[in-house]
Amino acid sequence: MLMFMSDFFCGGGWQLCCSGRALASLQLQNNKRVMIKSFPAVIVSKQFRKYSMENQSHVKNKVYVHYNHTDSCKFARWTARESYDFMYARPWQHVVDFYSDIVNGRLSLSDLFGTERACFSHDDKEILEVEVGSDGTEVRSGRWARVTFKILVSYHGGSFDGWQKQPGLNTVQGLVETSLGSFVDEKKAKLLKEKCKPLEGCASVAGRTDKGVSALQQACSFYTWRKDVKPRDIVDAINSASPGKIRVVSVSEVSRAFHPNFSAKWRRYLYIFPLDDGENKEKTSDSEVEVDNFYSNRTSNGKDENVENKLIDDEGVVETGKKPRRFAVKRVNLLLQQLEGKLLSYKVFARDTKASRNIGPPTECFIYHARAAEARLPCSVHDHGEGRKVMCVELVGNRFLRKMVRVLVATSIREAAAGAEEDALLKLMDATCRRATAPPAPPDGLCLVDVGYTEFDPENTLIG
């Protein structure tokens, strides 16, 4: 008996049927449809065990190759595992609590930077304008008869599974759209009921944040054909959905042509990296001495004089295990400053992107502002004394690729610790593999501060 069926991905590629006779399908690399014959269960069982043993042997012998850096800092540079361990070993709970206090209105960014620079007032006059006819009345007909609201929301990333709505997960989009369900017009409500779908609104957003990433002024929009909906009604509906985790900053009626993503001119991200208690100002600033001491243990011909704690990389080259474990914030700042005012392809700094977006214009981003500085987290109302010392990284760009900010921060810290040159990040742009950059930094430190819909003002920054 012959039959055709698609390949099934089960274990090592076999699909078994528990019956008197069994069907077997061997996974092919091209994933094309294959002709399957009916085999006795005993034969299939033997072939399955043989294939499983071969597959296990292949996995066991698989070699994981690290990116081979060729510059002079290759022996001081952390591996992906070392970088990951260094980043995730930090006391992140202090940063998480700080973002939670901002969302709940107990603190603000002004408390972190000690300046009024953190108080932003965007001029969104362009998106507030409405179309006016020759008689001076507002033009609203057909699909343009709808009312569009711009909603700025602040939410704590640790309380949600990201922005994008997903089945069975607690997401920001899911909560917002459920709250907006009571403002849906009658026609759409009837349509949703006929399709047996929940009564929810539809919210577009400026940028989807990952799980654990907070936002202070995330911009989203919602439209309805109802004329009785007031901004205050939307504020109360969303604020009452999950108190303490999400808060509406403002709601305003905007032009019907407004789109929070496509209308945006720039986005601002802030990454807060906690420093250890023992990393005071003097030790952090003297990390270059640690790098110099690392290289002083190597002879002029490139061989290490100390034979202890040596590692062998994938190319068979000896490298030392005593790598610098501190970095200078000012070095990170110099590395990031090289990105300002340039349109570059950040494909090696992106993660989990589609293949179609790995080349060409989809990978190009323009960075307006990239700076790093030291600061101290303000103490909460229940604590006393001095807050934890942190490094703050501010990035402003026209767009950002997926996990791009987190990879940039982690790679900048890695390069600063290794004592790399100021143009190290620019040189990494030419890398052919994403293993050249560090794994993404933890999402706990990242926050979407705000989104701008007018041209970026260089004076409107957190870090000067």
Catalogue the active-site residues.
210
Token output for 48:
């399955």
Angstrom distance (rounded) from CA 169 to CA 459? 40
Question: Which helix H or strand E contains 237, and what residues bound it?
Answer: helix 231-239
Question: Which helix H or strand E contains 295, and what residues bound it?
Answer: helix 287-296
CB atoms within 10 A of CB 224: 19
- What DSSP letter does each residue of 173-228 carry, written as one string? HHHHHHHGGGG--HHHHHHHHHTT-------EES-PPPTT-EEEEEEEEEEES-S-
Pairing of strands 214-224, 446-452: parallel
Q: Do residues 239 and 248 lie in contact, with contact meaning Cβ atoms separated by under 8 Å?
A: yes
Angstrom distance (rounded) from CA 242 to CA 202? 19
Angstrom distance (rounded) from CA 324 to CA 310? 14
Angstrom distance (rounded) from CA 235 to CA 127? 20
Angstrom distance (rounded) from CA 366 to CA 33? 45
Q: Do residues 353 and 402 lie in contact, with contact meaning Cβ atoms separated by under 8 Å?
A: yes
Please classify residue 63 by burial: count the beta carbons closer than 10 Å to its beta carbon, then call 0-12 exposed, 13-18 middle and 19+ buried. Answer: exposed
Angstrom distance (rounded) from CA 254 to CA 200? 21
Q: How many residues are recorded in the chain?
A: 464
CB atoms within 10 A of CB 404: 24
Angle at which helix 404-418 crosses helix 80-88, to 10 degrees, equals: 100
